[in-house]
Structure formats: structure tokens, C-alpha cells
Amino acid sequence: MQYWINHNGVQSGPMDLDALKQMGLTSAAYVWHEGLSDWVKITQIPELQDVYVMEGAAPEVAEIPEIPPVQRQDEPVAREPYQPQRQPAQPYQPAQPQYAGPQPANAEPCPPTNLVWAIISTVLCCLPAGIVAIVYATKVTNKYRAGDIEGAKRASEVGAWWCIASIILGIICQPFMSAIPSMMGSMN
Amino acid sequence: MRRSLIIILVAVLLLVLGFIYYALDPSASTVFPRCPILTLTGYKCPGCGSQRAIHALLNGDVAGAFRYNAFLMVAIPWIVLCLYAESRRTRNPQLYARLNAPLLAWLLLALVVLWWVLRNIFDW
């Protein structure tokens, strides 16, 4: 089985089980493989329970190169058997560019920001609801970069609804506005 | 299949809207949506004049289009680029990521608000 990994916003894959063990993943990582409709938390896949440590137990990436594998045995870590193996593979992870490598066609890690629709509804639909949508567009990317994929998805949806609300409100207001003819003269 | 159907529907809708905005003058007709902000407060919103600007542009009056809503005219090339990036999102995620960077979004928000304030001060 081939797996794709999204760990702290850095995506990599495809990899097999042995390669995953080398990555030093934490429980914050997300996984996708053939047959899944979307990314899932690594903790939700039983066959991967040996390739990650619970968040907080993982060593900091920066200190990895200095510590030889032997010393690592002394550290209090939850799962021992694979701990020494994680060492050599660690530096590989930060070197991975964000969008490098083949991506599974149906797994798009960062949800749409809707920024262009927010701008369009701001400029065309005459309603500041679009401005709220712009703010949500920034939230999507910020949350995604912080590793909060669920939050990014929520912000993406809320932003999309603000765009739709902007357009619908613009249309609905039409009959109501026509009822105020005295003010319409100043508009043209 | 579903994707191409959506593209065709959007294309037809754009053509119909384009013809309507080409043929009818929004400032002379009551069919078009009015800006609720302007009607209620008397202040122009960032999008006021967009319909008249599109009508002017479709009739070849670029100067008139800028007079009605200069911000829209400046934004159109950017919007076209963004829509292109949107359609290429899976094939070219880097372009999409760059155009949707939070910093850029904040900058656009600042520009919109600046345009909002300035156009009401100088009556643009």
C-alpha cells in the first residue's frame, strides 16, 4: 500500500510502510491512500499505529543532527522499537518542498480560499459582505499553514457562504430598493 | 462530465448577461439591481458603478468605464488571472497558492477600503 502524508503542512508521498516509519511522524499528521475519499488523521488508521508518536513526545527537528542514535534510547519516549530508525530520515522532511512530488488526484490538502470570488462579489455585488469573505480567505491559508486542516475547511466554507450571501442579498435588495424612488435620482 | 456541464452553463450565463449589459443602459433602466448601501446611506460602496462601467466597457467606452468604477477596471485583469489559476488548481497549485497568499488578501482588503474612502471624499 502507498501512503501520502501531510505533516505540519508539508506534503510528501507516495511512500510505503517502511518509509513512513523513517519519517518521525506525530499524531498530528494526516494520511491519504487509495480508497480514502479525503485526508484522515493518522490516528484513525489502525495499520499505521506504529509509525507515529503522540504529539508532544516527538523530539524537535532542530536537535536531531546533533544527537547520535545511541543516546536517544535514554529519552523517555512512548514507543521504543522504531525510535532509533527515525534518526537518519529526519532531515529529509524539512527539505521537502510544499507541493513536490505526485499528488493523489482527489486529495487537495489546502481547501479553496475563495479569494477571487470574494473580490468579485465585493466589486460587482455592491455589498461589503464580500469584505468578510476576503478576511475568511486569509484565515483558510493561515489555518492550513498552522496544520489546522479542519479549521481551514470550516473557514473555506464560511467564506464561500459569505460570497453567496453577498450575491443573493444584492439580487434580493432590488425590489425593495425600487420602492425608494426619491433617492434613486442621486444614483445615476 | 459534471465539470464540463458547469463550464457550459457558466459560459451561457455569461453570454446572456454580457448581452443584457451591452444592450441595456443600467443608469436608464430600473431592471438592474440597485446598490443598497448607496440607497440607504447616500455613500458609494466599493462596487458602485460597476454595472454602468461594464455597460460602458462592452460598448467600447473605456474612459467612461473608468469614470464609473476605476477600481473594477484595474481589478479585471487580476480577476481573470485568478480565475485561470482557479481552473488550474490541481495542475499548478503553486500559482494558486501565490495568488491566494494571506498577505495578498490583506493587501487587497486594504486597497478596497482605501478605494471606498477615497471615492466618497473625491466623488470618484
Confidence of residue B75 (pLDDT cuts 50, 70, 90): very high
Residue A48 has a pLDDT of: 83
* Statement: residue A19 has pLDDT above 90: no
Gap from B16 CA to chain A (nearest CA, Å): 17
Whether residue B89 lies within 8 A of chain A, CB to CB, comes out as yes
Nearest-by-Cβ selection for A126 from B35, B75, B102:
B35
CA distances from B22 to A25, B35, B60, B61 (A): 58, 20, 10, 11
- Average pLDDT (A59-67) is 50
What's the 3-state SS for B33-84?
Answer: CCCHHHHHHCCCCCCCCHHHHHHHHHCCCHHHHHHHHHHHHHHHHHHHHHHH
Residue A158 has a pLDDT of: 92
Confidence of residue B107 (pLDDT cuts 50, 70, 90): very high
Q: How many CB atoms lie within 10 A of CB A128?
A: 18
* Statement: residue B94 has pLDDT above 50: yes
Whether residue B94 lies within 8 A of chain A, CB to CB, comes out as yes
Q: Which of A122, A125, A169 to mutate to test the interface with B (most CBs of B within 10 A)?
A: A122
Q: How many CB atoms lie within 10 A of CB A115?
A: 28
* Statement: residue A21 has pLDDT above 60: yes
Gap from B108 CA to chain A (nearest CA, Å): 8
SS3 B95: helix
- Cis peptide leading into A104, omega within 30 of 0? no
Q: Are A42 and A68 in contact (CB under 8 A)?
A: no
* Statement: residue A11 has pLDDT above 50: yes
* Statement: residue A132 has pLDDT above 60: yes
Name the closest residue on chain A to residue B82, using Cα atoms: A116
Confidence of residue B82 (pLDDT cuts 50, 70, 90): very high
* Statement: residue A104 has pLDDT above 60: no
